Amino acid sequence: MTEKKINNQRQATFDGIRQHDANGAERWSARDLAPLLDYPQWRNFVPVLERASQACRQSGESVAYHFADDRKMVDIGSGAQREVDDVRLSRYACYLIVQNGDPAKPVIANGQTYFALQTRRQELADETKFAQLSEDEKRLAIRNELATHNKQLAAAAKNAGVETALDYAVFQDHGYKGLYGGLGAKDIHAHKGLKKSQKILDHMGSTELAANLFRATQTEEKLRRDQVRGKTRANQTHQEVGKKVRQTIKELGGTMPENLPAPDKSIQQLELAKKKLLTKKP
């Protein structure tokens, strides 16, 4: 059987048990998924579910959303049925289950390949779409993504011991100092000539926003992966990651973030213009 046929067969099997909830979102039943992944006994599949949900929690995602407790009626013979525990899974949950399954099982290995291919295909599609965006559209896209990742970074920092608003401001300042060669938030704010009420992230071009997005995502991952504990260590970690990102920019011959030009319009102005354009459409 060719690789293309194998991939098509795998997708048909996985997508064949896909369901949709009341809101139209795609979901999978853990009871249906288990035998497809060569786990005929539910009790052997439960530890895989637990490892996957733990990975979901560590990634900062909502376990309750991706792994929703449910009940399911199953046949027990002679036309009779009984109700059993089940879990409603998102596609992301299915991915985590496959990643935490037994790699010795051929179907698990195939599943890992399937998700890797699907992820790369989506990445390539996203890269193509992103490349076609204007500078303003890129700024809006990255700024929105950065807002999401900053929430996840805040959660990881809190878990490390960064608890108060002042603690978090100091923590963020360390990240900026690492990325901006010693410049803190106030320094960057002054460097850009911004008013007190204006946020520095809203006055960055797409390249500068991308550098800050990389700083945020890598810091979050390192805090969780290394199980960093204590405000001091968390601050050091953030600054170290910022320095690494800066060093990478330097090695690639890029412009240091503090030397990148500030856009003429803020993110708020771009969003307002976008809303006005949408309201004009019939």
**pLDDT above 70 coverage of the chain, percent:** 88
Does the structure show a pLDDT above 80 at 32? yes
Q: pLDDT tens digits, residue range 160-183?
A: 999 999 999 999 999 999 999 999
The secondary structure of 168-223 as a DSSP string is: HHHHHHHHHHHHTTT--HHHHHHHTT--TT--GGGG--HHHHHHHHHHHHHHHHHH
Nearest to 209 by CA among 270, 126, 147, 125: 147
Q: What is the pLDDT of residue 162?
A: 95
Q: With bands split at pLDDT 50, 70 and 90, how would you rate the model's confidence at 120?
A: low
Residue 63 buriedness (CB in 10 A; 0-12 / 13-18 / 19+)? middle
Task: Record the pTM.
Answer: 0.58
In terms of pLDDT, which residue wins out, 111 or 9? 111
Does the structure show a pLDDT above 80 at 215? yes
Q: pLDDT tens digits, residue range 254-272?
A: 899 999 998 999 999 998 8
